[in-house]
Amino acid sequence: MILALDIKSQLTDLIRAACAAVSPQASELSIVLERPKNAQHGDYACNVAMQAAKQLKRNPRELAQAIVAALPASCLIGKAEIAGAGFINFFIGIGAKQAVVREVLAAGVRYGETDRGRGQKISLEFVSSNPTGPLHVAHGRAAAFGASLANVMAAAGFVVQREYYVNDAGRQMDILTASTWLRYLQLAGADVPYPPNAYQGDYVQAMAQEILAQYGARMARTVTAVMTNVPALKEDACEKDRETARDARIDALIANAKQLLGGDFRLIHAHALKVQVDDMRADLTEFGVDYDCWYSEQSLYDNGLLDQALGKLIAAGHTYEEDGALWFRATQFGDEKDRVLRRSNGQYTYFAPDIAYHASKYDRGAEVVIDLWGPDHHGYIPRVRAAIAALGRDPEKFIVIISQLVKLYREGQPVKLSTRAGNYVTLRDLRTEVGRDAARFFYILRKSDQQLDFDLDLAKSQSNDNPVYYIQYAHARISSVFERWGGDRALLQDAKLDALTNEREAQLLQTLLDYPEVIANAALDYAPHALAYYLKDLAGHLHSYYNAEQFLVDDDALKLARLALIAAVQQVLRNGLVLLGVSAPERM
RNA sequence: GUGCCCGUAGCUCAACCGGAUAGAGCACCGGCCUUCUAAGCCGGGGGUUGUGGGUUCAAGUCCCGCCGGGCGCGCCA
């Protein structure tokens, strides 16, 4: 929706008109309005006079004076004064601000929406964890960030497609399949060794149980058969050699599994995939994170999109063969080295289907593609960008947001995590421990490219230390006032607002006015944390107001005006919390 | 070694793409509950924005050097 009451753009128009009257050249200037930190500097400050002073060869303060003098008459501006080096400070009349209350109450859940995104189609991919085990706390951050960003962008007028790329075709899934089978063999009584780089979690055991229950001993094989041609580990060698040996060992086990099981390998594979994807989906749904599309990597092989994408690259001459492998000339598109698409063993790299996947995002209508990745993938960005460029798409329309590491703290000490032992903290653990609201909120409190220290005790604490409760409490307090009042909230829509005149009321009105722009900026900057800080701010102003003034007063006009104001505040608090996936409780 | 990201109060972090006296919370000190929820409010101390230069009316923000930290640099994903 487009606000009737957009003070900032109305003011911008007035200033532009004034500039045009002062000088034809000045009419070309871009008018930037900013909310001063210092209340003495008014509600909006404009620096256009300082920007223009040089090219107009005029003194900035004198120029500012001329612009102010040329301002068209408007009931919006209570006062405009020159300050500092040439700022024009605007004080908005309280009457103009009061109208925001009616605006908020009329718009309701839609207050804050703008058309800044102009309906641009965005593909936003986030989490996309391998379906080889439960989501852990880093995925949780990506989930919370991606979901909040998608909500904020949608509110700002973008059309957002939320995507999860399911890596159901790669080697990791084969390892999970083999892991499940090995556990199954152990359950069936076979004394097979379990490799250290197979999946260690208990969920593998659980899947093995299910396979055993469903298919009985039909997939059992002798240990000798399973271990045929499986090379030994080299635990006394150096780290690099040990890793190579481990890789070779698990690859041999996978090859044996495929050969010994035939079609049954696909059965275990399909079972494991379904269990893991269902589990992740349930986990995310419980976290308030939903997707428009779960996109299968395997489908790119099956429906020919992979061949199509590679065919395009080959036809355009962007590939070559060397050492038996197929290479992409990534260096011609800004990457630091060329990249392998198809290995000499005939297998495609992870990169190859990923190119097809990204191509499909654009082919399905995305104007801008945004990927949210972990920090360990940032070296991968130039490669994908190069491929997008090679396919004739604008690489500027491909944006990667890096979601940095999450460190957990308990009692001031970092929580030790060891992926190898399989005892990492899952998202589900975290949700169980601190609750969904605190988890969602804490996760987006930091800029995505900054490491996040997650204080478990703080997130759990039901105290004033906890910013989630601080905001929710403001919302609940307002509910409590209305419960005490007992009147009909619909009456507030038409309440007279003239009585809202004191400093705290002016502050609240202005903060409500800021909300749509906060949403828009958070969307354009990919920075949902800005919304969290705004809500803390709004809640703070409400708490101050609550403490300073009585709402349920004898003076009827004053009472209704104040109730209308806090109803509007509550609406905005709720709207903001909804975008962040945090509940807005009526009582606490 | 090379590339990217980061360095702001004792701690965790903001700062509206270059604006005015760098702001919150925690911690510390002092006040406020017979009045709509004290999970709250009011007040106080605390800073050479890692460092040295540069750009300009104006730099935490932009450019260069250095110091310190994180991550990446596979025919892995």
Residues A362-380: pLDDT tens digits?
999 999 999 999 888 988 9
When the pLDDT of each residue in chain A is averaged and rounded to a whole number, the result is 92
| Same structural domain, A550 and A471 | yes
Is a pLDDT exceeding 60 seen at residue A4? Answer: no
Helix (H, G, I), strand (E, B) or coil at A372: strand
**Residues 27-86/A with CB < 7 A to strand B:** 32, 34-38, 40-42, 45, 47, 50-51, 54, 60, 83-86
Query: Which nucleotide does the CA of A48 lie closest to, via C1'?
Result: B19
| Same structural domain, A109 and A42 | no
Q: Which helix (H) or strand (E) holds A406?
A: strand A406-410
Boundary-marking domain end, from A251, A277, A303: A277
A299 inside domain? no
Boundary-marking domain end, from A92, A127, A162: A92
Work out if A247's Cβ lies within 7 angstroms of strand B. yes
- Give the structural domain span for A87: 7-92
| Same structural domain, A468 and A572 | yes
What angle separates helix A60-70 from helix A7-22, to the nearest 10 degrees? 110
Work out if A116's Cβ lies within 7 angstroms of strand B. no
How do residues A220-235 score in pLDDT, each as one tens digit? 999 999 999 988 877 6
| Same structural domain, A196 and A261 | yes
CA nearest to A147, candidates A242, A283, A278, A250: A283
Q: Which helix (H) or strand (E) holds A187?
A: helix A171-187
Work out if A303's Cβ lies within 7 angstroms of strand B. no
Boundary-marking domain end, from A277, A296, A317: A277
A126 inside domain? no
Q: Which residues contact A105 (CB under 8 A, 6 or more apart)?
A: A492, A493, A564, A567, A568, A571
What's the Å distance between residue A250 CA and nucleotide B7 C1'? Answer: 43
Work out if A381's Cβ lies within 7 angstroms of strand B. no
- Give the pLDDT band of residue A313 (cuts 50, 70, 90): very high
Q: How far apart are CA A220 and CA A188, in angstroms?
A: 7
How do residues A326-343 score in pLDDT, each as one tens digit? 999 999 998 989 999 999
Higher pLDDT pick, A320 / A416: A320
Q: How far apart are CA A496 and CA A492, in angstroms?
A: 9
* pLDDT number for residue A415: 80
A223 inside domain? yes
Higher pLDDT pick, A50 / A234: A50
**Residues 405-444/A with CB < 7 A to strand B:** 405
Q: Provide mean pLDDT across the span A516-529.
A: 95
Query: Which nucleotide does the CA of A409 lie closest to, via C1'?
Result: B12
Mean pLDDT check: name the lowest of A57-61, A111-115, A513-517.
A57-61
What's the Å distance between residue A378 CA and nucleotide B5 C1'? Answer: 10
Structure-token match 């991968």, residue found: A380
A431 inside domain? no
Q: What's the complex ipTM?
A: 0.95
Work out if A547's Cβ lies within 7 angstroms of strand B. yes
- Give the pLDDT band of residue A58 (cuts 50, 70, 90): confident
How do residues A458-516 score in pLDDT, each as one tens digit? 888 766 678 899 999 999 999 999 999 999 999 999 999 999 999 999 999 999 999 99
Q: Which helix (H) or strand (E) holds A414?
A: strand A413-414
| pLDDT over 70 percentage in chain A | 96
Work out if A548's Cβ lies within 7 angstroms of strand B. yes
What's the Å distance between residue A465 CA and nucleotide B39 C1'? Answer: 9
| Same structural domain, A110 and A21 | no
Work out if A451's Cβ lies within 7 angstroms of strand B. yes
What angle separates helix A529-548 from helix A467-485, to the nearest 10 degrees? 40
Work out if A392's Cβ lies within 7 angstroms of strand B. no
What is the total count of domains within chain A? 3
| Same structural domain, A104 and A52 | no
Protein-covered nucleotides of chain B (CB closer than 7 Å) are 3-6, 12-17, 19-27, 35-42, 57-58, 70-77
Higher pLDDT pick, A152 / A41: A152
DSSP state of A227: T
Q: How far apart are CA A337 and CA A326, in angstroms?
A: 14
| Same structural domain, A74 and A104 | no
Structure-token match 């421990």, residue found: A433
A489 inside domain? yes
| Same structural domain, A507 and A528 | yes
- Give the pLDDT band of residue A1 (cuts 50, 70, 90): very low
Q: What is the CATH number of the domain that holds A481?
A: 1.10.730.10
Q: Provide mean pLDDT across the span A27-31.
A: 76
Of chain A, the end-to-end C-alpha distance in Å amounts to 33
Query: Which nucleotide does the CA of A533 lie closest to, via C1'?
Result: B14
Is a pLDDT exceeding 90 seen at residue A244? Answer: no
Q: What six digits make up the tokens of A517?
A: 């722009």
Query: Which nucleotide does the CA of A339 lie closest to, via C1'?
Result: B75
A199-206's contacts with Cβ under 8 Å and 24+ in sequence apart are: A199/A132, A199/A133, A199/A175, A199/A422, A200/A420, A200/A421, A200/A422, A201/A133, A201/A134, A201/A422, A203/A133, A203/A134, A203/A275, A203/A276, A203/A279, A204/A176, A204/A179, A204/A180
CA distances to A147, A274, A434, A436, A577 from A285, in Å:
11, 16, 17, 11, 17
CA nearest to A474, candidates A400, A536, A429, A555: A536
A202 inside domain? yes
Cα torsion A53, A58, A62, A68 to 10°: value is -60
Is a pLDDT exceeding 90 seen at residue A522? Answer: yes
Is a pLDDT exceeding 50 seen at residue A2? Answer: no
Q: Find how far residue A544's CA is from the centre of its chain.
A: 31
| Same structural domain, A61 and A109 | no
Buried b (16+ CB within 10 A) or exposed e, A82-117: bbeebbbbbebebebbbebbbbbbebeeebbbbebb
Number of helices and strands in chain A (H, E): 21, 15
Q: How far apart are CA A351 and CA A169, in angstroms?
A: 12
| Same structural domain, A529 and A493 | yes
Query: Which nucleotide does the CA of A559 lie closest to, via C1'?
Result: B36
How do residues A405-460 score in pLDDT, each as one tens digit? 888 888 777 787 654 445 568 999 999 988 999 999 999 998 888 888 888 888 88
What's the Å distance between residue A226 CA and nucleotide B43 C1'? Answer: 75
Q: What six digits make up the tokens of A42?
A: 């008014």
What's the Å distance between residue A463 CA and nucleotide B24 C1'? Answer: 17
| Same structural domain, A102 and A16 | no
A197 inside domain? yes
Whether residue A86 contacts residue A45, with contact meaning beta carbons closer than 8 Å, is answered with: no
Nucleotide B3's nearest residue (CA vs C1') is A379
A132 inside domain? no
| Same structural domain, A87 and A104 | no
